[in-house]
């Protein structure tokens, strides 16, 4: 396998592991409650956990500091807004895990996050490789 392909796959895998911990292990009650309003401090903190973990991932793969700052700020904004859409759609429509619409929203939310990591890896490749 070409070295460039291997490092990009490693980067995406690191983003995926980061995502699992930030999205499923490190959320607090504050991050998970009352998320129907746009300006929700818990959502901002949750997106911040993602962005800070991405700082670590991007440092591991030798990214320049300016790139880390720029891409992680963009990730914070994108993650915040994806999560707002899902929270607004599920909580404000009173969806629960027994409903198909809940799982479609969850799947769409996760897909958008994972596509964000593909875009971040592509941006990284265009800058670092």
- DSSP letters of 102-115? HHHHHHHHHHHHHH
| DSSP reduced 3-state for 53 | helix
pLDDT tens across 77-118, in order? Answer: 999 999 999 999 998 899 999 999 999 999 999 999 999 999
pTM over 0.75: yes
pLDDT (0 to 100) of residue 94: 93
pLDDT (0 to 100) of residue 36: 83
Q: How far is CA 83 from CA 94, 110, 125, in A?
A: 16, 9, 26
pLDDT tens across 1-43, in order? Answer: 788 999 999 999 999 999 999 999 999 999 988 778 899 999 9
pLDDT (0 to 100) of residue 46: 97
Q: How far is CA 12 from CA 82, 103, 104, in A?
A: 19, 24, 24
Distance of CA 29 to the CA centre of its chain: 18
């Amino acid at each position: 396998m070409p070295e460039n392909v291997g490092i990009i796959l490693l980067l995406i895998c690191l983003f995926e592991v980061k995502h699992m911990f930030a999205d499923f292990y490190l959320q607090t009650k504050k991050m998970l409650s009352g998320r129907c309003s746009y300006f929700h401090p818990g959502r901002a903190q949750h997106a911040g956990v993602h962005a800070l973990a991405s700082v670590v991932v991007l440092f591991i793969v030798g990214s320049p500091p300016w790139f880390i700052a720029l891409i992680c700020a963009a990730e914070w904004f994108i993650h915040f807004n994806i999560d707002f859409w899902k929270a607004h759609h599920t909580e404000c429509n009173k969806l629960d895990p027994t409903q198909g619409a809940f799982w479609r929203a969850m799947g769409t939310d996760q897909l958008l996050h994972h596509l964000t990591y593909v875009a971040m890896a592509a941006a990284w490749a265009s800058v670092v490789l």
